[in-house]
Amino acid sequence: MQIVEQVGLAVQQTLTVLAKQAGISCGIIQRNRKFDEESLAQTMVFGYLQNPQASDESLAQMAGLCGVSVTPQAIAQRFTWLLVEFLETLLKKAVKQLVADQPVAIALLKRFNGVYVQDSSTIALPAELADRFPGSGGAASTAAVKVQTRLNLLTGGLDYVDLEPGRNPDQGSAMQQAPLPAGALRLADLGFFSVTVLALLARQSVYWISRIQSATAVFSTAGERLELHRWLPTHVTCGVVEMSIELGSRERLPCRLFAFRVPDEVAARRRQRLHEDTRRKGRSPSQQRLQWCQWTVYVTNVEPERLTAQEILVLYRARWQIELLFKLWKSHGLLGTTTRSQPVHQAVEVFARLLAVTVQHWLLVAGVWQFADRSLVKAARIVRGFVPSLAMALHYPDLLIKQLATMRASLAKTARINPRKRKPNTYQLLLKPELLDYALT
C-alpha cells in the first residue's frame, strides 16, 4: 500500500471505527442529539491539529466542517472528565497503528533493519489525575504523564508509544522490554541505560549504541577491571580510542568501547550541571564523576566491519532527532502548555493535543519522510492549512487520498532545509559521516 493510502486509512480508521469503539467503551454519548462518537473525535482532533489553542468558537467551526452544527456553548459543555477518558482511550487505540514510509535514501541507516530511537517526554496534568498519573512531587507537578516513544529513523514510524506515570524512571519503562526486529539498531540516552537490557537485546540479535554511566563496571578481554576515569587519561591523547571490552560485573557483555576527550568548554559545562544537580540533592559530586566529565564514552555490539568509529558517533548524534520531535510537539503542538483555567479543560487539551500530534506525525510521514533534508517544522505549519479540507473529505476515501496527495506535493516543494558548510545538519552527517568534527559531539 502506498504511504498516502496508508495514512488516509489510518486517519479514517482512527476517527471513525476506533472512535466509535472508544466512545462505546466509556459511554461518552448518552443521547445522540448532535454529536456521535465519530464527529466528536473528529472535532477535537482536527480542531486542535489546526489550532493547538483552539477556543470553543473555533472548535464549533470545526464541528461544522465535520457535519455537526453546534454553538460554542455546546462545545464548552462537552469538556468533562468523561471526554478526557474518551480521548485517552482513543489515543491508546490510535498509537497501535503503525504508519511508516519506505526506507529513506540514507545508506548508513539502511545497514540496519530499522534504526530505533527511544525517549520520553513528560507533560504536567491537573492534580485530579494524580491517582492514575502521579508526578514527581515536590516542586514538580503533582500529576504528570510520561509519553514513552520509539521512532524508526529509517521509515518515520512511531513504533511504540505508551503513557506512563510521570514519576516512573525511564530505566524501568515497559518500552525497555518491547521487542525489536533482529538486525535493528537501538539508540537511547543514559536514562535508559541498563547492562541487563543491552544483554537481552544482544541475545535477540538487536544492535545498540549507548553511552555508559561513570560507575559501570568495565573489564578488558583479559578480565582486568578498568577504572576508566584513571585509565583513559593515560591512553587517549587525541582522536578516539577503540577497544574490545566486557561490560557489567555479572553480565560480562562483550562489546566495543569508544572514548574521546571533549573540549574544555564542554567539560566545564558538564561539571557545572553536575554541581547544580548534586547540590539540589544535598550532596557534592565525587572526584570520579568530575573527572568523567572530560570524556564521552560509547559502547556498542555492532561489528567493526559494519560501522567505523566515526559512523558510530554520527549515528548516536542522530538520537537527537526524537528530541526535536518532542520539541515540535511542545512548541508547535503546545503539549505541556495550559491555555484554559479549569482542570478538566486542561486535561482535555492534553489528550486532544496528543491525538492531534499523532495524526500530524502520520501526515508528516506521508509528506516528507522520504526526503533526507526534510524540515518537520516547516511541514507542520503547512499541514495546518490542509486540515479543513481533510476534515471535509474524511468520509470520502477517493477525495481524502486526493487531498493527501496534494498536501504531499506541496510539502515536497517547500518543507526542506538547506545544507550548512559549518556545523553540518544531521542529514548531511548521515549522508557523509566524514564531515563530522569530533568537537561537534
* Partner residues linked to 118 by β-bridges: 150, 188
Contacts of 25 (CB under 8 A, 6+ apart): 89
Q: Which residue has the cell 511508516?
A: 100
Q: How far apart are CA 317 and CA 189, in angstroms?
A: 10
90 and 116 share a domain?
no
Half-sphere exposure of 25 (CA within 13 A, CB side): 14
295 and 255 share a domain?
yes
Range of 114's domain? Answer: 107-323
140 and 197 share a domain?
yes
Domain end residue (candidates: 283, 301, 323): 323
For residue 420, tell me if it sits in a domain: no
Phi, psi of 74 (to 5 degrees): -65, -35
For residue 428, tell me if it sits in a domain: no
pTM of the model: 0.93
- Are 384 and 49 in contact, with CB atoms under 8 Å apart? yes
Handedness of CA 345, 351, 354, 360 (dihedral sign): negative
Q: How far apart are CA 436 and CA 426, in angstroms?
A: 10
199 and 282 share a domain?
yes
With vertex at residue 405, the alpha carbon angle to CA 402 and CA 409, rounded to the nearest 5 degrees, is: 140
For residue 434, tell me if it sits in a domain: no
156 and 81 share a domain?
no
282 and 350 share a domain?
no
For residue 329, tell me if it sits in a domain: no
pLDDT of residue 184: 98
For residue 339, tell me if it sits in a domain: yes
369 and 390 share a domain?
yes
279-298 b/e with 16+ CB inside 10 Å = b?
Answer: eeeeeebeeebbbbbbbbbb
Domain end residue (candidates: 323, 344, 361): 323
Domain end residue (candidates: 298, 323, 348): 323
Q: Which residue has the cell 565525587?
A: 286
38 and 137 share a domain?
no
- Are 65 and 71 in contact, with CB atoms under 8 Å apart? no
For residue 426, tell me if it sits in a domain: no
Low-confidence ranges of the chain (pLDDT < 50): 439-441
Query: Distances from the Cα of 171 to the Cαs of 162, 204, 276, 333, 340, in angstroms?
Result: 14, 19, 22, 27, 33
3-state secondary structure the chain: CCHHHHHHHHHHHHHHHHHHHHHHHHCCCCCCCCCCHHHHHHHHHHHHHHCCCCCHHHHHHHHHHCCCCCCHHHHHHCCCHHHHHHHHHHHHHHCCCCCCCCCCCCHHHHCCCCEEEEEEEEEEECHHHCCCCECCCCCCCCEEEEEEEEEECCCCCEEEEEEEECCCCHHHCHHHHCCCCCCCEEEECHHHCCHHHHHHHHHCCCEEEEECCCCCCEEECCCCECCHHHHHHHHCCCCCEEEEEEECCCCCEEEEEEEEECCHHHHHHHHHHHHHHHHHCCCCCCHHHHHHCCEEEEEECCCCCCCCHHHHHHHHHCCHHHHHHHHHHHHCCCCCCCCCCCHHHHHHHHHHHHHHHHHHHHHHHHHHCCCCCECHHHHHHHHHHHHHHHHHHCCCHHHHHHHHHHHHHHHHHHCECCCCCCCCCHHHHHHCHHHCCHHHC
153 and 263 share a domain?
yes
pLDDT of residue 410: 95
For residue 422, tell me if it sits in a domain: no
pLDDT of residue 63: 97
306 and 383 share a domain?
no
pLDDT of residue 239: 67
pLDDT of residue 441: 45
Q: How many domains does the chain have?
A: 2
**Residue 155: which CATH number?**
3.90.350.10
121 and 245 share a domain?
yes
346 and 308 share a domain?
no
For residue 328, tell me if it sits in a domain: no
